[in-house]
Structures are given as structure tokens and as C-alpha cells.
């Protein structure tokens, strides 16, 4: 296989990688926000359930979670998961929602009660208070930890190879075993570096944009 | 008609009785200073009047409207032991609040300036002033801006309209906070130690603004440790001690001529610190 052939194969595989990345980002951020509301719920049972859930998700390897989501429905409920991409998406979305939840919760709790009280005496509704006053401040504070997590996500997509999704690492491994050449595996690093490099630049831009105020 | 009438206000935190029956009223244009030693319940009183805390008993009447009223409720009977006869059903008087949505709007009659300003850092000065008028009073941006600029003129900060809070000094932040509260056109503007987070040299500019608001007829209720200021600017002074008003009257009379030992002691201590 020529360098060009390998590049084309890996670029096609990038589609899966970016697919997992995109789906996870789009769904885990709102889900994480919902998780963070639930984990601050006034109802104690809800809080405890959330804490246990987050403990389980953050306390076990993502690779294991992918395997569980893919195989357990078939083994336990005899409803085999036919769609590999769906299984991976579910595992990634829930996993990342748990991490984002903790970031959001930390961000929300770091805003002083004074901000809420100022809104209250000015007559803002709860929703106005959250979306117009609290959330923008939370976003500014969570951009650095979020960018860390999102860059980790790019690399975590490689875990999808465990159930045979043709993302970059799996594709490279196949080339290696079929053509008996090792370099394509090392070559994958370039693809990850480019994706992470772009994200780093994007996040730096966002941070700059939010730099117009302090606090 | 009184702008504010407070009747037998009682507030507790758990078992701690913080306000034990407060009565006073304010007339339009009056400036009332609340003084008293630490822990006496001054902040709690102000927070109750601005509906940040809920009182257990008492009435709060603003512009003749009973925002917090009272009603009788049956006292929950204790569980009876065997052989005990049920005691007579008793009732107790408790404060009644309107529904949240109603309180949110009625509460606008009470403005509050916080000790630590609580400006919104992501909005410019103008943004801080126009946010609530636009969201709550549904004013257009133009209408809100006209009022905001008028208020900024009053506090002498029109040149800072596009600055962000982090670019302001403490005194300027506090003046912006005053302007922000004024934009909602409250019947009474309350202050909780508006200068205690400020350096002495910045204190003066804030006190000057408050004095000029008095000239313009703004009704104000000010919790303060600035005794000189209270004496010079306030019409009336309330001395709050351990949850009760122990002196109330003309500002100069109360401060120059306190009747109770507690007030004498407190004023003496304060003046000896200031000297
Ligand atoms: N949220 C709360 N929970 C429990 N106790 C409280 C709470 N807020 C105030 N207290 C208590 O109520 C009492 C009165 O407090 P408050 O802050 O009203 O006093 P203050 O007169 O404003 O004092 P200072 O001059 O120090 O500001 C204090 O004993 C205080 O510990
Ligand atoms: Mg206080």
C-alpha cells in the first residue's frame, strides 16, 4: 500500500471518529446540564441517585461501558444491539455527560449567592436569572476545563475499536495486519494531532472572546 | 399615607429569634437610618423588607398595600398518647405571602443596594442598568437607556456608561449599584452598610450621592455604621438591639441624646473608635 492509499483509508476512518466526536458533543452537553440540575435537586433521593450514577460512570473504564452497552441488551434482555454506532454513541454520551455534569455543577456553584439575590430584588424570573446572568458567567469559568475534556474526547473515540467500529485506530490496525507494515499505526498520530490542534486554537479563540470582562 | 408600614415583624432562624416584633413606618421622602450593634438583626430586617427572607409573623405594607399580611392558622396538634384527651384546637397568627409570581412584581417597590454591590460582571455599566427594566418592565432598549443615563447622571458616572464593573473602583461600583436600583423606580431604596466594603476615601463619594438623593426626595432606609452620616442625613433613626427597636426618633435626638444604656454604650464605643 502506498502512502496515499493509507492516507485515504485513514481519512475515511476519520469520518467515524468525527461522527462519534460530534454526536457525543451535541448530546452530552445538554444531558450534562440536565444531570447537573438533577444533582443539585431539592429532592434528596434524586441527588443520591445522581451521585451513584456519576460515581459508576466515572469509576469504570469507558471501554468497559462500551462493551456493556453493546452486549448486555442481548445477553440479559435477549434484545441484541444491532447498531454498533448506536451502542458507542450511547456509551460516549452518558460517559461524557457525567464528566460535563461535574464541570457544570462546579461552575454553577462557584457563582456567589449575591448574583442570585441581585436578580431577585430586580424582579427577574428564575429562568431569566439563570440564562441572562448566571449561565454566561458559568460558561466563562468552565471553558478551560471543558476544552480539556473535549480534547480528551478526540482521543477517546479510539476506544470504539473494541466493538469493531472502523475508526482511525481500527483501520490502521487492519492495514497493519493485512499488509504487514507497521508505520500506518504511527501515522495515525498525525490525524489526532491535527484534530486536537484545531480544537486548541478554537478554544483559545473562545477564551479570548470571553476575556472582555473579569470575574 | 405611610410609604412603608411594618407591623410586629418577627423572624427566626431555626431556634434563634432574630427579630422579635419590629414596628415602624416611613413617610414619603423620609430617610431612616438603622443603627445598632453587630448581630442585632439589621441585615435580617433589611432582607426581610426586600423579601430575600421570609418572616414568620407580622405585616409589611408598602404604599398602602399589604404585601405580607397575617392570617390565623390552626396549630398542629401533637400526637396524642393513649388516654390523653385532645386539647382545645389552638390557632396562631402567621404571615402570609402572595404567590411567587405576584411577589416578584410587588417586591419591585423595595429596592436594595448590597454591601458588596453584586453588579453583573459580564455586562457594561449600561447593561447592568437596563437589564431588569427590559426583562421585567418590558421596556425597549431605547426607553431603558434613557432612564439609565438619567440615573447615571444622578450618581455622577455618565462617563462610565460603557465600562465593565471590573474597571471601576469600589465607590464607583457602589454608585452604579445605586443607579441600577433606582432604574426600577422603587418606592423605597434600602441600603445595607453601603460603604463598609469601601476604603475611607471612597466612602465619602457614596455618602454624597445618598445625601443628594435625599434632596431629590428619594425615600431611603439605610443600615449604617456611619453615625455622623446618620445624624446629618437621616430624618429618623432606629436603634436596633437584640432583635428589638430600643430607640426611635429624630436622628439628632437619638444620636446626641440616647435614652437607653445600650444605645449610650454603643454610641460611646463608636465615637471613641472614630476619634
Ligand atoms: N441565614 C442565617 N441563618 C442563621 N442565622 C442567621 C442567618 N442570618 C443571620 N443570622 C443570625 O441572625 C443574627 C442577626 O444577624 P444580622 O446579620 O441581621 O445582624 P446585623 O445587625 O446585620 O449585624 P452586623 O452589624 O454585624 O452586620 C445573628 O446572630 C446571625 O448569626
Ligand atoms: Mg449586617
Give every residue of chain B whose pLDDT is below 70, as ranges: 273-275
Window 130-159 of A, Cβ < 8 Å to B: 132-133, 136-137, 140
Give distance in angstroms: CA of A1 to centre of ligand 1.
Answer: 77
Question: What's the rounded Cα separation, in Å, for the pair B176 and B194?
Answer: 12
B174 within domain boundaries: yes
Look at residues A54, A48, A144 and name the one whose alpha carbon lies nearest to residue A101: A54
C-alpha cell, B257: 441624646
pTM, to two decimals: 0.89
**Residue B145: its pLDDT value, please?**
97
Verify whether the Cβ–Cβ distance B122 to A140 is below 8 Å: yes
In a domain, B232, yes or no: yes
Average pLDDT in chain A: 94
Q: Which of B118, B120, B122 sits opposite A117 (nearest CB)?
A: B118
Residue B273 confidence (pLDDT)? 67
Model confidence at A115: pLDDT above 80: yes
Chain B residue with CA closest to A135: the answer is B122
Contacts of A115 in chain B (CB under 8 A): 118, 120
Residue A13 has pLDDT above 90, yes or no: yes
Q: Is B163 an interface residue toward A (CB < 8 Å)?
A: no
Task: Tell me the CA–centroid distance for residue B39 and ligand 1, in Å.
Answer: 5
Contact A121 B122 (CB under 8 A): no
Query: Which residues contact residue A197 at a Cβ distance below 8 angstroms, ignoring those fewer than 6 apart?
Result: none
Tell me if chain B has a CB within 8 Å of the CB of A209. no
Its domain, for residue A125, covers 3-212
Q: Whose CA is nearest to atom 17 of ligand 1?
A: B43
List the one residue out of B35, B59, B27 whose CA is nearest residue B192: B35
Q: Is the Cβ–Cβ distance between B11 and B51 less than 8 Å?
A: no
Q: Over the range B81-107, which residues count as b (16 or more CB within 10 Å of their CB) and which as e?
A: eeeeeeeeeeeeeebeebeeeebbebb
- Cα B79 to middle of ligand 1, angstroms: 34
Best of B130, B135, B170 to mutate (most A CBs within 10 Å, chain A): B135
What lies within 8 Å, CB to CB, of A104 at 6+ separation is A32, A33, A35, A36, A138, A142
Tell me if chain B has a CB within 8 Å of the CB of A118.
yes
The predicted pLDDT at position B267 comes to 87
Is B79 inside any structural domain?
A: no
Kindly state whether residue B83 falls inside one of the protein's structural domains: no
Please report whether residue B84 resides in a domain. Answer: no
Strand partners, B61: B5, B66
Contact assignment for B132 to A122 by CB distance below 8 Å: yes
> In this structure, what CATH number is given to the domain that contains residue A161?
1.10.3720.10
Residue B85, domain member (yes or no): no
Q: Could you give the CA distance from residue B178 to residue A81 in angstroms, rounded to a whole number?
A: 62
Q: How many domains does chain B have?
A: 1
Q: What cell was used for A92? A: 460516549
Nearest to A118 among B105, B118, B164 (CB): B118
The verdict on B165 touching A (C-beta cutoff 8 Å) is: yes
CATH, residue B43: 3.40.50.300
What DSSP character marks residue A132? I
Rounded-to-integer distance, Cα B117 and Cα B121, Å: 11
In terms of pLDDT, which residue wins out, A72 or B79?
A: A72
In a domain, B81, yes or no: no
**In chain B, which residues have their Cβ closer than 8 Å to the Cβ of A127?**
none
Evaluate whether residue B237 is within a structural domain.
yes
pLDDT at position A80: 84
Q: What is the pLDDT of residue B101?
A: 95
Nearest to A121 among B105, B112, B122 (CB): B112
Residue A188 has pLDDT above 70, yes or no: yes
What is residue B275's predicted lDDT score, i.e. its pLDDT?
56
Q: In terms of residues, how long is chain A?
A: 215
Q: What residues line ligand 1, using a CB cutoff of 6 Å?
A: B 13, 16, 18, 38-44
Contact partners, residue B108, CB within 8 Å, separation at least 6: A122, A123, B136, B184, B186
What is the tally of structural domains in chain A?
Answer: 1
Residue nearest to atom 4 of ligand 1 (CA): B13
Note down the domain range covering B246. 4-74+90-274
For ligand 1, atom 8, name the residue with the nearest CA: B44
- Exposure letters A92-119 (e unless 16+ CB within 10 A, then b): bbbbbbbbbbbbbbebbeeeeeebbbbb
Query: Which among B122, B131, B136 has the least Cβ separation from residue A137?
Result: B122
- Give the closest residue (by CA) to ligand 1 atom 24: B38
Amino acid at each position: 500500500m502506498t502512502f496515499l492509499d493509507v492516507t485515504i483509508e485513514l481519512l475515511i476512518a476519520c469520518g467515524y471518529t468525527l461522527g462519534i466526536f460530534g454526536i457525543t458533543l451535541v448530546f452530552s452537553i445538554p444531558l450534562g446540564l440536565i444531570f447537573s440540575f438533577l444533582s443539585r435537586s431539592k429532592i434528596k433521593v434524586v441527588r443520591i441517585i445522581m451521585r451513584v450514577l456519576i460515581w459508576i460512570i466515572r469509576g469504570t473504564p469507558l471501554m468497559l461501558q462500551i462493551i456493556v452497552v453493546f452486549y448486555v441488551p442481548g445477553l440479559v434482555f435477549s434484545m441484541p444491539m444491532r447498531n454498533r454506532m448506536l451502542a458507542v454513541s450511547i456509551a460516549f454520551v452518558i460517559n461524557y455527560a457525567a464528566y460535563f455534569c461535574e464541570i457544570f455543577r462546579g461552575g454553577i456553584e462557584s457563582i456567589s449567592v449575591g448574583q442570585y439575590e441581585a436578580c431577585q430584588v430586580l424582579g427577574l424570573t428564575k429562568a431569566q436569572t439563570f440564562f441572562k446572568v448566571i449561565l454566561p458567567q458559568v460558561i466563562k469559568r468552565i471553558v478551560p476545563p471543558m476544552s480539556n475534556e473535549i480534547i480528551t474526547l478526540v482521543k477517546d473515540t479510539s476506544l470504539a475499536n473494541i466493538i469493531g467500529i472502523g475508526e482511525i485506530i481500527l483501520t490502521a490496525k487492519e492495514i497493519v495486519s493485512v499488509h504487514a507494515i507497521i508505520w500506518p499505526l504511527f501515522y495515525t498520530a498525525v490525524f489526532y494531532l491535527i484534530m486536537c490542534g484545531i480544537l486548541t486554537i478554537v478554544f483559545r479563540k473562545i477564551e479570548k472572546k470571553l476575556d472582555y470582562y473579569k470575574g | 399615607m405611610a410609604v412603608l408600614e411594618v407591623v410586629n415583624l418577627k423572624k427566626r432562624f431555626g431556634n434563634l429569634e432574630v427579630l422579635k416584633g419590629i414596628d415602624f413606618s416611613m413617610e414619603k421622602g423620609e430617610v431612616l437610618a438603622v443603627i445598632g450593634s453587630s448581630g442585632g438583626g439589621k441585615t435580617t430586617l433589611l432582607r426581610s423588607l426586600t423579601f430575600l427572607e421570609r418572616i414568620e409573623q407580622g405585616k409589611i405594607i408598602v404604599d398602602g398595600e399589604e404585601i405580607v399580611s397575617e392570617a390565623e392558622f390552626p396549630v398542629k396538634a401533637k400526637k396524642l398518647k393513649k388516654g390523653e384527651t385532645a386539647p382545645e384546637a389552638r390557632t396562631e397568627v402567621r404571615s402570609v405571602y402572595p404567590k411567587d409570581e405576584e411577589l416578584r412584581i410587588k417586591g419591585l417597590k423595595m429596592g436594595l443596594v448590597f454591601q458588596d454591590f453584586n453588579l453583573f460582571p459580564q455586562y457594561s455599566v449600561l447593561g447592568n442598568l437596563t437589564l431588569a427594566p427590559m426583562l421585567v418592565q418590558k421596556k425597549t432598549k431605547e426607553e431603558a437607556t434613557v432612564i439609565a443615563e438619567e440615573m447615571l447622571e444622578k450618581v455622577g458616572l455618565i462617563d462610565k456608561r460603557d465600562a465593565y464593573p471590573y474597571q471601576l473602583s469600589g465607590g464607583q461600583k457602589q454608585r452604579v449599584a445605586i443607579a441600577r436600583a433606582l432604574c426600577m423606580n422603587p418606592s423605597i431604596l434600602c441600603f445595607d452598610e453601603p460603604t463598609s466594603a469601601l476604603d475611607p476615601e471612597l466612602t465619602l463619594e457614596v455618602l454624597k450621592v445618598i445625601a443628594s438623593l435625599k434632596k431629590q426626595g428619594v425615600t431611603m432606609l439605610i443600615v449604617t455604621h456611619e453615625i455622623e452620616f446618620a445624624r446629618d442625613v437621616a430624618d429618623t433613626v432606629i436603634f436596633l438591639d437584640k432583635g428589638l427597636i430600643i430607640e426611635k426618633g429624630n436622628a439628632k435626638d437619638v444620636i446626641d441624646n440616647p435614652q437607653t444604656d445600650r444605645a449610650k454604650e454603643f454610641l460611646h464605643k463608636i465615637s471613641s473608635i472614630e476619634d
